[in-house]
C-alpha cells in the first residue's frame, strides 16, 4: 500500500548498526505496518490485567495484519522527547494536526480497537521516535480508561469518552449496570496508576445529563476519586448536543500535561548535572524535556542557552568529521563521528548518525576502514620514530657515543619507517668520517675499559686479588690509551702485580 513503511529489525539492518532510528523517522502522516509485538500484549498478560474487557478481541494477533496511521510533526526534533497519543479507531482528520504539533505529540491511529494493538503501537513508535514516557497517552472509549488503570507502566494519561472500571461503584438502581469489566489490578500497579496516570473525561454541560454522562460521573466520583486516583478531571462540552472539537481535545491534553510542569525544573537540574559529567546527549534531551514541560520557568533562558551551546558543539565536531572525509582521512572521520555519537547520542547528533550510517552501509566500508586503520598505525609508528630520531640527534651533539647508540636503536627498532632509514644513513656517514669514527671507537674502548675496571675493583674489595689482577692486566693490554688503563696500572702496583 502506498506510503507504507516497514518498521522492525530490517530497518536497523538496512541502515547499519549505528543508525539512529529516531533521526531517520519520516515526518508527516502516513500508513505504517508494525512487525514487533509488545512484551505486554501477550495473551496471558492481557487476560490477567483486562479480563472480560478483551473477550471480544482477537488475542495474540500480530500487529503486522493491520495498517496503523502515524503522524509525526513536520518540526519533529529527534533530540527532544515528544509525547505519544494513541488514538483508538485511527488518526483524526488532517485539520486536527495542528493541535498535536503545538503540543509536541506524535500520534498513532489504531484502526482496530484492540488493547493488544494499542500496546503494540506504543512499543513500535518508541522504537522509532524519541518519546517521553510520562506523556504516553491513550484516547478513546472506556477502553482508554481501562488501559490507564491496568497499564500505568505504559500510559501516563488517557482522554476518555467512556468509562470502564474494575468494580461496581453505585447503589443507584438506575445505574446498577455500572460495570466492573476487568480485574482489580495488583497492589503495585494500582498504586502506580493512582499516582502516575492522569484521566480526562469528556462530558456535556447540560443540566439534564443523559445516561452516558451519568455513568461517567458516577464511575469517576464513586470509583476513581473515591479510591484515591490523584489526577482525574472532566472537560465539559457546552450543551447536550455539543460536538467534540479540536478545542476540547486540546483542553484535555493540556489537563494531562499540567502535573508535569512541576517536574520541569528537576529535569533542568538533572540536565545540568549530566553536562557536568560529560553526558552531553542526556543533558540535551533533559534540557529539551524541561523546556517542553514549562517553557516559561525562571531557568528556561539558561536551558535554551545550554541547548544552543550543546548543539553547536555537536555540529562543530560533525563538521570536523566531514572535513576529514573530504580530505581522505577516512579513519579520522569515522573516529570523530563515533566520538560525537558517544558524547551526544544518536538523538542529539542526528547528522553524525546519518552520515555514519551511510558510510557503514557502503559495501566498500570494511576494506576502506581496514586500509585507513593500517595507514593510521603506520603514521603513528612514523611519528614515534621521528621523535626518537630527533632525540638521538640531540644526544649525539652532546655525547657522540650515547648519540651513536641512540641512532643505532632508531635504525633497528624503526627500520620500516623513513625516520629509521634516515638513522641508518646517518650511522653510515658517521662511520665514514675518520675523525668521528675514531671518536666513536675511542668512546667504545673507554666504555669497555671502565666496565672491566669496575669488575676489578669489586674483586679487590672482596679479597679476590688474583681475579682483580687478571681484569686489570686485560685493561692495560686491550685499551692502553684509556684513562681506565692508567688507573689499572696504579692498582696493579698497589696489589703487587704491576
Average pLDDT over every residue of 445-462 = 85
99 pLDDT band (50/70/90 cuts)?
Answer: very high
60 and 124 in a single domain? The answer is yes
Report how many helices (DSSP H) and strands (DSSP E) the chain contains, helices first: 20, 9
129 and 238 in a single domain? The answer is yes
Give the pLDDT confidence score for residue 1 in this predicted structure.
39
Domain end point (choices 340, 362, 384): 362
63 and 190 in a single domain? The answer is yes
C-alpha angle 383-386-387 in degrees, rounded to nearest 5: 90
Q: Is residue 243 part of a domain?
A: yes
pLDDT digits (tens, 9 = 90+) for 160-169: 988 888 888 7
Q: Is residue 308 part of a domain?
A: yes
Give the pLDDT confidence score for residue 145 in this predicted structure.
92
Domain end point (choices 312, 340, 362): 362
Whether pLDDT at 170 is above 80: no
151 and 276 in a single domain? The answer is no
Average pLDDT over every residue of 372-394 = 90
C-alpha cell at 328: 581522505
Q: Is residue 56 part of a domain?
A: yes
Q: Is residue 1 part of a domain?
A: no
- Label the pairing between strands 105-110 and 157-160: unpaired
Q: Residues for the chain: how many in total?
A: 498
Query: What is the 8-class DSSP label of residue 20?
Result: -
Q: Are 427 and 411 in contact (CB under 8 A)?
A: yes
444 and 295 in a single domain? The answer is no
Give the rounded percent of residues in the chain with a pLDDT score beyond 90: 51
pLDDT digits (tens, 9 = 90+) for 75-97: 999 999 999 999 999 999 899 99
Average pLDDT over every residue of 483-492 = 86
192 and 339 in a single domain? The answer is no
Give the pLDDT confidence score for residue 174 in this predicted structure.
57
Q: Which position has the higher pLDDT, 171 or 59?
A: 59
Query: What is the 8-class DSSP label of residue 25?
Result: P
Give the pLDDT confidence score for residue 54 in this predicted structure.
63
How far is 210 from 364, CA to CA, in rounded Å?
69
The DSSP string of 339-373 is HHHHHHHHHH-HHHHHHHHHHHHSTTHHHHHHHHH
Residue ranges making up the domain that contains 35: 6-261
Q: Is residue 290 part of a domain?
A: yes
Give the pLDDT confidence score for residue 337 in this predicted structure.
95
Average pLDDT over every residue of 103-124 = 94
| Measured CA distances, 147 to 32, 113, 174 (Å) | 23, 12, 27
4 pLDDT band (50/70/90 cuts)?
Answer: very low
Whether pLDDT at 16 is above 50: no
How far is 482 from 471, CA to CA, in rounded Å?
15
Whether pLDDT at 13 is above 70: no
**Highest averaged pLDDT of the listed ranges 119-123, 286-290, 494-498:** 119-123
* Number of folded domains that form the chain: 4
98 and 199 in a single domain? The answer is yes
The DSSP string of 226-242 is TTT-SEEEEEEESSTTP
Domain end point (choices 335, 362, 389): 362
45 and 175 in a single domain? The answer is yes
Does the model's pTM come out above 0.75?
Answer: no
194 and 299 in a single domain? The answer is no
Whether pLDDT at 208 is above 70: no
CATH of the domain at 78: 3.40.50.1820
Q: Is residue 39 part of a domain?
A: yes
Q: Are 89 and 112 in contact (CB under 8 A)?
A: no
How far is 199 from 234, CA to CA, in rounded Å?
8
Whether pLDDT at 7 is above 50: no
117 and 232 in a single domain? The answer is yes
247 and 301 in a single domain? The answer is no
453 and 409 in a single domain? The answer is no
C-alpha angle 419-425-428 in degrees, rounded to nearest 5: 145
Q: Is residue 184 part of a domain?
A: yes
Pick from 17-31, 217-231, 438-452, 463-477: least confident:
17-31
What 3-state class would DSSP assign to 33? strand
Whether pLDDT at 429 is above 50: yes
Q: Are 63 and 37 in contact (CB under 8 A)?
A: yes
Q: Are 1 and 67 in contact (CB under 8 A)?
A: yes
Whether pLDDT at 12 is above 80: no
Average pLDDT over every residue of 471-490 = 85
What 3-state class would DSSP assign to 406? helix
Whether pLDDT at 71 is above 90: yes
Whether pLDDT at 421 is above 90: yes
435 pLDDT band (50/70/90 cuts)?
Answer: confident
Give the pLDDT confidence score for residue 15 in this predicted structure.
30
Q: Is residue 136 part of a domain?
A: yes
pLDDT digits (tens, 9 = 90+) for 231-244: 999 887 765 555 66
How far is 172 from 431, CA to CA, in rounded Å?
114
Q: How many CB atoms lie within 10 A of CB 421?
A: 15
- Label the pairing between strands 82-88 and 68-72: unpaired
Q: Are 157 and 198 in contact (CB under 8 A)?
A: yes
Contacts of 185 (CB under 8 A, 6+ apart): 49, 149, 150, 166, 193
Pick from 87-91, 173-177, 299-303: least confident:
173-177
Amino acid at each position: 500500500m502506498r506510503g507504507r513503511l516497514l518498521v522492525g529489525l530490517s530497518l536497523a539492518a538496512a541502515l547499519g548498526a549505528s543508525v539512529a532510528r529516531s533521526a531517520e523517522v519520516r515526518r508527516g502522516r502516513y500508513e505504517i505496518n508494525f512487525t514487533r509485538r509488545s512484551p505486554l500484549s501477550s495473551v496471558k498478560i492481557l487476560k490477567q490485567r483486562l479480563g472480560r474487557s478483551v473477550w471480544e478481541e482477537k488475542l495474540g494477533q500480530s500487529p503486522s495484519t493491520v495498517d496503523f496511521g502515524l503522524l509525526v510533526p513536520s518540526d519533529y526534533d529527534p533530540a527532544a522527547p515528544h509525547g505519544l497519543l494513541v488514538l483508538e479507531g485511527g488518526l483524526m482528520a488532517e485539520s486536527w494536526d495542528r493541535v498535536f504539533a503545538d503540543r509536541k505529540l506524535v500520534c498513532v491511529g489504531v484502526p482496530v480497537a484492540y488493547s493488544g494493538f494499542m500496546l503494540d503501537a506504543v512499543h513500535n513508535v518508541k522504537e522509532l521516535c524519541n518519546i517521553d514516557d510520562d506523556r504516553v497517552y491513550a484516547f478513546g472509549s472506556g477502553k482508554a480508561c481501562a488501559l490507564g488503570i491496568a497499564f500505568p507502566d505504559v500510559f501516563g494519561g488517557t482522554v476518555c469518552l467512556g468509562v470502564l472500571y474494575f468494580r461496581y461503584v453505585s447503589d443507584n438502581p438506575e445505574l446498577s449496570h455500572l460495570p466492573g469489566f476487568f480485574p482489580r489490578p495488583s497492589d503495585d500497579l494500582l498504586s502506580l496508576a493512582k499516582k502516575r496516570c492522569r484521566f480526562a473525561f469528556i462530558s456535556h454541560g447540560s443540566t439534564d445529563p443523559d445516561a452516558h454522562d451519568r455513568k461517567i460521573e458516577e464511575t469517576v466520583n464513586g470509583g476513581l476519586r473515591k479510591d484515591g486516583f490523584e489526577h482525574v478531571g472532566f472537560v465539559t462540552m457546552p450543551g447536550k448536543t455539543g460536538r467534540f472539537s479540536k478545542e476540547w481535545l486540546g483542553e484535555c491534553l493540556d489537563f494531562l500535561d499540567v502535573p508535569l510542569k512541576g517536574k520541569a525544573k528537576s529535569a533542568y537540574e538533572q540536565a545540568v548535572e549530566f553536562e557536568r559529567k560529560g553526558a552531553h546527549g542526556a543533558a540535551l534531551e533533559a534540557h529539551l524535556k524541561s523546556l517542553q514541560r514549562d517553557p516559561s520557568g525562571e531557568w528556561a533562558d539558561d536551558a535554551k542557552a545550554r541547548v544552543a551551546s550543546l548543539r553547536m558543539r555537536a555540529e562543530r565536531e560533525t563538521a570536523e568529521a566531514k572535513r576529514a572525509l573530504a580530505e581522505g582521512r577516512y579513519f579520522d572521520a569515522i573516529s570523530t563521528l563515533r566520538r560525537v555519537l558517544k558524547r551526544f547520542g544518536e538523538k542529539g547528533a542526528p547528522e553524525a548518525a546519518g552520515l555514519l550510517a551511510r558510510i557503514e552501509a557502503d559495501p566498500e566500508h570494511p576494506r576502506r576502514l581496514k586500509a585507513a586503520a593500517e595507514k593510521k598505525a603506520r603514521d603513528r609508528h612514523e611519528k614515534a620514530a621521528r621523535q626518537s630520531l630527533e632525540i638521538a640527534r640531540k644526544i649525539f651533539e652532546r655525547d657522540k657515543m650515547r648519540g651513536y647508540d641512540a641512532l643505532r636503536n632508531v635504525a633497528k627498532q624503526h627500520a620500516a619507517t623513513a625516520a629509521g632509514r634516515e638513522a641508518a644513513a646517518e650511522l653510515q656517514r658517521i662511520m665514514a668520517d675518520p675523525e668521528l669514527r675514531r671518536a666513536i671507537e675511542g668512546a667504545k674502548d673507554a666504555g669497555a675499559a671502565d666496565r672491566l675496571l669496575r669488575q676489578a675493583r669489586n674483586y679487590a674489595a672482596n679479597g679476590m686479588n688474583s681475579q682483580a689482577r687478571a681484569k686489570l692486566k686485560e685493561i692495560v693490554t686491550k685499551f692502553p690509551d684509556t684513562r681506565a688503563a692508567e688507573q689499572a696500572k696504579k692498582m696493579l702496583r698497589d696489589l703487587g702485580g704491576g
